[in-house]
Amino acid sequence: MVFGKDEIYENMSLREREERALPGRVPPELTHSLRRSNMMLNPLNLKHLNRLDELQADVVTLNLEDAIAPERKREALVNCALFLSHLESRNSLIVVRVNPMGEGGEEEIAYLNDYGYDAIRVSKVRRREDIARALSLLPKGKELHISLETREAFRDFSHWGDIDERFTTVNLGILDLLADLDLPHTLLETDNPLVMHILGSFLLNARIAGLEAVSFMFQRYRETEVFREWCEIEKRMGFRSKACMGPAQVEIANEIFGASEEEIADAEEICRLFEESGAKGINGFMHEKYGFIDEPIYKDALNRLARLAKTKS
């Protein structure tokens, strides 16, 4: 726990919480680069915040946006500052999801810059200028993530990868996107062709832009088998990361988007075979198990090894 049982943070006033926040503290070291699961956390829930150092999600996103009523946004922001500044260890990359630019996002980033987060995630992005504005407020070493929830962003974001190397990740907010497109949420089923097209286009355009793509949050959190089905479909499509609601979804996402020993062994063997063959001047040959191996197959194996090295528990 971030605070011990004897520290009654729940009874503190908002002013007392802000006074106990410690600006300028460096976040504790994170010893992995895993991004399989991205768990959303409501910073008004102090009991959940107090377990920030115990969560098994590879990424934790503290949500200041749509889950927080306007009159409580300041409270949620102060809670983030308090718990981040007292964090002594962690298993997760810490992202804070701020409100849209022009709707409080700038002020939230400026406030949070005194505390120990890893990335800011900007909501409801519509244009490049929203990203440039957020980047202008970020210190060096902090990543920028965005929520892709609007028709304008979905149309254009494949051209945004050159903005800044700190802009690394795009998260699909599919319910907001469907609403913005005037499409019903009832479409969100694993056999719906339009939803599959949206997922495929989102992933392809993210990779064109050189960005990591995080698939959407499945909000029916009790339906774990349906969540597992989504994860399996998305992994086959090429996704590496999934938004999660709660520890049960995190466990499934970590399992499915993790690296199996068989995957690693196959990629290593293909690399070994190609390199041995290449040393003999042969860059294409048939193999009983892997079929025809040539340079594109070798490059794919190298890419898989680099990717799997980041997703191996």
Residue 74 domain-assigned (yes or no)? yes
Whether 207 and 69 share a structural domain: yes
Is residue 215 domain-shared with residue 289, that is, in the same domain? no
Q: Are residues 139 and 165 in the same domain?
A: yes
Tell me, yes or no, whether 178 and 283 share the same domain: no
- In this prediction, residue 78 carries a pLDDT of 97
Closest residue by Cα to residue 183 from 156, 154, 212: 154
In a domain, 288, yes or no: yes
Which of 168, 100, 108 has the alpha carbon at shortest distance from 137?
Answer: 108
**205 domain residue, yes or no:** yes
Given this model, what pLDDT does residue 309 score?
64
pTM for the whole structure: 0.87
Domain edge (last residue) among 219, 237, 256: 256
Burial degree of 269 (CB within 10 A; 0-12, 13-18, 19+): middle
Check whether residue 157 and residue 223 sit in a common domain: yes
**Are 92 and 130 within one domain?**
yes
* 101 and 204 fall within a common domain: yes
Give the span between the Cα atoms of 28 and 81, in whole angstroms. 14
Residue 90 has a pLDDT of 95
| In-domain check, residue 1 | no
Specify the number of domains making up the chain: 2
Residue numbers in the chain where pLDDT is lower than 70: 6-7, 260, 307-313
Residue 283 and residue 243 share a domain: no
Same domain, 252 and 289: no
- Judgement on whether residues 209 and 287 belong to the same structural domain of the protein: no
Query: Do 284 and 179 lie in a common domain?
Result: no
CATH number at residue 178: 3.20.20.60
Please give the residue range of the domain that contains residue 106.
Answer: 9-256
In a domain, 4, yes or no: no
Say how far residue 175 (Cα) sits from the centre of its chain.
Answer: 17
Closest by CA position to 63, among listed 9, 117, 21, 23: 117
Output the pLDDT for position 311.
Answer: 47
Query: Is the domain of 62 the same as that of 172?
Result: yes
Decide if 2 is inside a domain.
no
Q: Is residue 3 part of a domain?
A: no
pLDDT of residue 260: 67
